[in-house]
Structure 1
């Protein structure tokens, strides 16, 4: 047979044949040695496990402060999904199927001296029988808890909390997110602000958010567990008939807010021709008691600030946000009768909520 190879195989440097999906692709010793000498990264993997009530399974590692998801560091030659399956078996004594990838979280070398890649996977929903017998199966785990996201998130250390928050967002949205130092990575893109212009017919609205005003002229921001702020709003769902329906649903879920009169403020277009982002202004009729967002499981904090201060607190840069904030303030004043407030006041909304006259 000499050098003849079977279809769908190749010969490695030891003379063994390896399947490469029907493509002959020899790997030279030179390439192997080159890869072995490249700078390495630390790879970790964890799993989002829930019970039938939607609570999270979390562990208390004895060797570090705070709680964590089940998981740990990959061993030599181990892929991330293999590592998390092994770690769950070792920590919880459960042999579980590894679900889809929710997030890849990168921590820069400035933090640990090496780049760390954390792969967060979904896991199956545990049965009641599995939950009842949950207990540490590894000496490195002091305890296992089953907690709601609202109960668990404050007990995670900062970096872990950001990783878990992103994973829960990805779990709810069906996305797989890439995170750098705790924040979702998004390619820089300068969206164009169209003040008081109608959304062009046929343009898909990907997200809708609102500048929601209290009777004194402050706007509502929602705060995530890491101290970041956002306008209430979110992505469109198939059942939403238009951007205003998306806004009303999202503000009810995130802020338990009831809106009064609503008016269009403008939209942000994508220079590459993608979807648009709608912006509206509305009067707030009431803010109900703080409640978990069904998309993430955690409760957003709520704060009322002036539009200028909101522009400073929101991501994306003050200069980029300010024209939108001032447009919302002007249009809300002209069409909704909202007073213009230019002081630097801030009101934290109490957990029990508030009703406005």
Structure 2
């Protein structure tokens, strides 16, 4: 184990560096969603992987180097989750920390972690809650904000670990609402901090005998079946109806104009963006149209039709409820229906 440098030597080293210092931290996850926390050999307290950026390195390259040196871990550095600007503290320099997602690591990658240079005495996988409780106060808020940005699909802006009013992620929702209602946002901060939603469009095709067209993707959970459709490219000006037609063309090769809107589903999971799904009637397909289906091999593995009573074993419960609501709208000539996680909402 290397000798611990004296506090005076540490401060002198950092005082000689350009200001501000730049550091890169990895929020390293495994496939169970646990966080990698390190026990350094040269100081007290727990740490997250990473360190200061050297010479002409970018933060991404600096983190990759630190992971290789500290943990013998050669994996890609993922997307930026948070930037934390810290005023001068015990080391005498201001510090800008970039926090990145690393992983989720495979079991083999996690088992291959080794402490080659002796700076790390041990490593533990902790749940996010356990890690936030056990990390020092200067690190725990950074971890919480970084994970919030991961789930929200955004980036957190911190100053000394505190999410700023215009931060797109990491700010407590109640605090954001209070700031908004009190008029403390400028237009740019308001747009950045407002909750975001993901929008998708799907099409319900039937075969005239009670069968529903489903497609099986080559990504995500094995054995999961979906309705044809996908995300709306709203940043390109695409409407849900346009997206439905495009997705059907890309996924099946069929040129079909979506019919009437059957339902709109709104789903929310705490910590994640809301999801809004537009569900359209695709009409009845005949034998010639089924024979003409051509799947994109890199995305979809196969297609099939399924009767209503078969859905329970093929699709997730939320999608099953959405499909059943659309079938009801078709049978009754009603709609569009307002759904919350596939369940009817609003006046009946």
Global fold match (TM > 0.5):
no
Greater share of residues in helix: 2
Provide the TM-score with structure 2 as the length reference: 0.45
